Structure 1
Amino acid sequence: MNKRNHIRLPPEVNRLLYVRNLPYKITSDEMYDIFGKFGAIRQIRVGNTPETRGTAFVVYEDIFDAKNACDHLSGFNVCNRYLVVLYYQSNKAFKRVDMDKKQEELNNIKAKYNLKTPEAP
């Protein structure tokens, strides 16, 4: 019987890891070398736009492999940069997008009704 079946994981643990503070010139092959030591990887996406450079998403086949990688690689030194490895949480990722959208809606309403907010001192 597999011992893993009886382990209860925290709710934030999932197969998708979000990695920050990567060297800008890191390749997917180097990412596979680093993260592949902890288990089978389904996909790695390295950020390539100015906003996403230095970040990546790593998707593992197994949740326990993802947990093991997160536990061991958070703080790992790659090219004199310490990795920040987190579990991806969609509710936090989209919170910023929602705030921007709400601010835009508020600005549209203000413009429609010609409202102005007082300046802060």
Structure 2
Amino acid sequence: MSFAYGKSRAAQLPPNVNRVLLVKNLPFKITAEEMFDLFGKYGAIRQIRMGTESTTKGTAFVVYEDIYDAKEACDHLQGFNVMGRYLIVLYYQANHRSKKTDLSKEEERVAQLRQRYKELNPDGDSDDLS
């Protein structure tokens, strides 16, 4: 009987829950078909976008048709082992994107760290700091 399922659908969801999941720590060799097989068990998928650049490889966005399906997938696949890697599954939050740092401040901080490293290791090889 679907009483428990219907009851869970009537429950109010936390505000951070949405239809878009951010998946991290994916194996680089996973295919789109394998992603659809894995995430499709939890409901209809509207779209999967996998990272292709060197900085985005191993990540993907999975968009479900229904918010409850996304919640089920997030709950069940968090920490799931795929090809020897444990998945990190989060709800995508557009307003919580990582803050862009001021480049000049970051360069200054790196220069200070390099100077401190040189003071602590005067015999160290400076080629490792590049």
TM-score range for the pair, normalised by the shorter chain length: 0.7 to 0.9
- Is 1:90–2:97 an aligned residue pair? no
DSSP-derived class of the 1:11 partner: coil
1:8 Cα deviation after fit: 0.2
TM-score (norm 1): 0.77
Structure 2: gaps spanning 5 or more residues: 1-5, 105-110, 117-130
Pick from 35, 40, 63 the counterpart of residue 36 of structure 1: 40
CA distance in 2, matches of 1:6, 1:83: 28
Of 12, 22, 27, the match for 2:26: 22
Residue 7 of structure 1 and its aligned partner are, at CA, apart by 1.4
Larger Rg: 2
Question: Are 1:55 and 2:79 counterparts?
Answer: no
Q: CA deviation digits over 1:45-86, x for unaligned, max 9?
A: 010000000000000000000000000000000000000000
Cα distance in 2 for partners of 1:17, 1:11 equals 14
Deviations 1:17-56 (A, max 9, x none): 0000000011110000000000000000010000000000
Letter in structure 2 aligned against 1:60 = Y
TM-score norm. by structure 2 comes to: 0.72
Structure 1 residues not aligned, in runs of 5+: 108-118
Distance 1:54 1:5, change over 3 A: closer
Q: Does 1:7 align with 2:11?
A: yes
Aligned length: 104
Displacement of 1:91:
1.4
Partner Cα separation in structure 1 for residue 63 and residue 17 of structure 2 = 12
Corresponding position of 2:68: 64
C-alpha displacement of 1:6: 2.4
- Using the alignment, how far apart are the partners of 2:81 and 2:10 within structure 1? 33
CA distance, structure 1, for counterparts of residue 56 and residue 87 of structure 2: 15
Structure 2 Cα separation of the partners of residues 92 and 65 of structure 1? 22
Paired residue secondary structure (1:18)? strand
